[in-house]
């Protein structure tokens, strides 16, 4: 991986569990020399009964520190419209923030007929509105680029094409895609590179045996993805070598669903 020329600071959301994609992202960026502000919201994982320990986030932070990173941990609910600005303000206490990785989500299965208004609103609050507000707060603390092509900030958000029987999740992730791609154009004067990554099916504790078997069979690479697979692409996008990739929705999924 290409390392930053000097230590830079990134905010990573959705790092609540050891098995999460967010954990892989945090560890990968720490290995590449990034200092980190990590965010999670335990009540979400507890509500869904996801596998994890109460001290997972602190443990992940310690592992990142062992790689040389300065790390701050900030718990907070991104459904709260005030929290994205609070998170970025907290992060800037460590210095200018030049990276934003959004791996948080609200994901509760329901369909056109079974989704209720509260669930719909919470999905859009967490997956779409918080994405906009995080990007807004991130951009507001960036300087304007002094010259064309200068990169001051990098944004990556994780998305999904899962929609059927997971309607509010899929619909709100579709909104996320448009917000991030807009940022690549609207924030160009601030030297921002913004991309969306679709990691495909990764077993972070939500799959049963049947789903694992189906996922492997549908993936030409012959296995399920891992958090490290997703982190490898994000690390590239956050490196100088990845600066030419901008405004894209990228799949990093072993060929899942192709053919």
DSSP string, the chain: -PPPSS-EEEEEE---STTSHHHHHHHHHHHTTEEEEEEE-HHHHHHHT-S--TTHHHHHHHHHHHTT--EEEEE--TTSTTHHHHHHHHHHTSS---EEEE---------TTT--HHHHHHHHIIIIIHHHHHHHHHHHTSPPPSSTT---EEEEEE-----TT-HHHHHHHHHHHHHHHHHHHHTGGGTEEEEEEE---B-SS---HHHHHHHHHT-TTSS-B-HHHHHHHHHHHTSGGGTT--S-EEE-STTTT--
Q: What are 44-66's pLDDT values in tens digits?
A: 988 987 777 778 999 999 999 99
Q: Say what the pLDDT of residue 240 is.
A: 95
Q: Which has the higher per-residue pLDDT, 78 or 162?
A: 78
Look up the pTM and report it.
0.93
Q: Which domains does the chain have, with CATH numbers?
A: 8-250 (3.40.50.720)
Dump pLDDT digits (tens) for 198-245.
998 887 777 778 877 888 887 888 888 889 999 999 999 999 999 999
Please check the confidence at residue 6 and state whether its pLDDT lies above 70. no
> 259 pLDDT exceeds 70?
no
pLDDT score at 224 = 84
Residue 4: its pLDDT value, please?
A: 44
Of all residues in the chain, the percent with pLDDT exceeding 90 is: 73
């Amino acid at each position: 991986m290409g390392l930053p020329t000097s230590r830079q600071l990134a905010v990573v959301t959705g790092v609540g569990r050891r098995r999460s994609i967010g954990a892989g992202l945090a560890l990968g960026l720490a290995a590449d020399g990034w200092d980190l502000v990590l965010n999670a919201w335990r009540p979400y994982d507890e509500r869904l009964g996801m596998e994890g320990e109460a001290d997972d986030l602190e443990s992940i932070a310690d592992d990142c520190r062992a790689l040389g990173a300065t790390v701050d941990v900030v718990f907070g609910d991104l459904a709260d419209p005030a929290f994205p600005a609070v998170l970025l303000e907290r992060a800037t206490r460590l210095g200018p923030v030049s990276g934003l990785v959004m791996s948080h989500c609200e994901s509760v299965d329901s369909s056109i007929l079974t989704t209720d208004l509260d669930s719909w609103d919470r999905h859009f609050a967490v997956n779409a509105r918080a994405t906009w507000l995080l990007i807004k707060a991130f951009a507001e603390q960036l300087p304007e680029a002094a010259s064309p092509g200068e990169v001051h900030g990098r944004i990556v958000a994780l998305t999904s094409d899962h929609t059927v029987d997971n309607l509010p999740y899929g619909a709100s992730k579709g909104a996320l895609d448009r917000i991030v791609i807009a940022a690549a154009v609207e924030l160009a004067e601030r030297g921002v590179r913004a991309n969306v990554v679709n990691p495909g099916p990764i077993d972070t504790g939500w799959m049963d045996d049947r789903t694992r078997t189906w996922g492997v069979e549908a993936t030409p690479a012959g296995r399920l993805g891992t958090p490290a697979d997703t982190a490898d692409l994000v690390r590239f996008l956050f490196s100088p070598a990845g600066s030419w990739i901008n405004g894209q929705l990228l799949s990093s999924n072993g060929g899942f669903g192709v053919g």
